[in-house]
Structure 1
């Protein structure tokens, strides 16, 4: 996939530490940073599916994970899921 791809990041609500179920983007910051560093434009899109993160490139889901498995905040460089997501976007058609 060439640089400057448009990546739609779909994310669902989740419950953190017993709090109410809400849409939160704190766990998405690292993944957004990693993709932006590669020159991709990331658009956030809410979905009704709980605990999910999906990356969509050219209408195809290229990566999916549980939002609770992502590291909270940070730059994403040490998060193995962010590295896997980066590879999935780079290998997308």
Structure 2
């Protein structure tokens, strides 16, 4: 699941002696998250005065839905601003955790662990047949260069 996917669970709001789901309270929050590039799903639940934001199965922010202002933009609602900030911070932290785990898994599997099923390492010495070096006598016959050793007496 993507870190850019936010699920908002909200319950019915108890106001003016009525209990009903009011997605209008989430308008500023939903609009701001969509502007920032998040995909937002609203899910109704049966808990009264409940609002919870979730990313990748992790609870990011929870509040009383009565604290959100009715049909107001992001800039006018301080609780909405805190919720958006919490979503952005959670996205950064989840991204860092994923990268950290990915790098350690890569190091563990690719560098330190070599097994029968791992890709084989091929080197040029294994694939090419090299002839041994020529001796001094071969150079005299071929090039006419004489190489002599000094003999210790």
Give the TM-score of the pair, scaled to structure 2: 0.55
Cα offset, 1:57, TM superposition: 0.4
Question: Following TM superposition, by how much is the alpha carbon of 1:6 offset from its aligned partner in structure 2, in angstroms?
Answer: 0.4
1:23 and 1:86 map into 2 onto residues whose CA distance is: 21
Match of 1:14 in 2: 13
Aligned to 2:58: 60
Is the 8 Å Cα contact of residues 34 and 77 (structure 1) preserved in structure 2?
A: no
Taking only aligned residues, the RMSD between alpha carbons, in angstroms, comes to 1.5
Stretches of structure 1 that go unaligned for 5 or more consecutive residues are: none
Q: Aligned with 2:74: secondary structure?
A: coil
The 5 Å alignment of 1:1-93 reads 5-18=4-17, 20-92=18-90, 93=94
Q: Larger % of strand: which? A: 1
Q: Which structure's relative contact order is higher, taking Cα pairs within 8 Å and 6+ residues apart?
A: 1
Q: Quote the Cα distance in structure 1 between the aligned partners of 2:53 and 2:15.
A: 22
Q: Distance in 2 between matches of 1:81 and 1:9?
A: 14
State how many pairs are aligned.
90
* Bigger helix share: 2
* Partners of 2:29 and 2:15 in 1: CA distance: 19
Quick one: distance in 2 between partners of 1:55 and 1:10? Answer: 6
Cα displacement string for residues 11-65 of structure 1 (whole angstroms, at most 9, x for unaligned residues)? 00122222x2111111110111111111111000111211011000010010011
Q: Distance in 2 between matches of 1:30 and 1:74?
A: 6
Runs (5+) with no aligned partner, structure 2? 95-153
Cα distance in structure 1, aligned partners of 2:30 and 2:75: 11
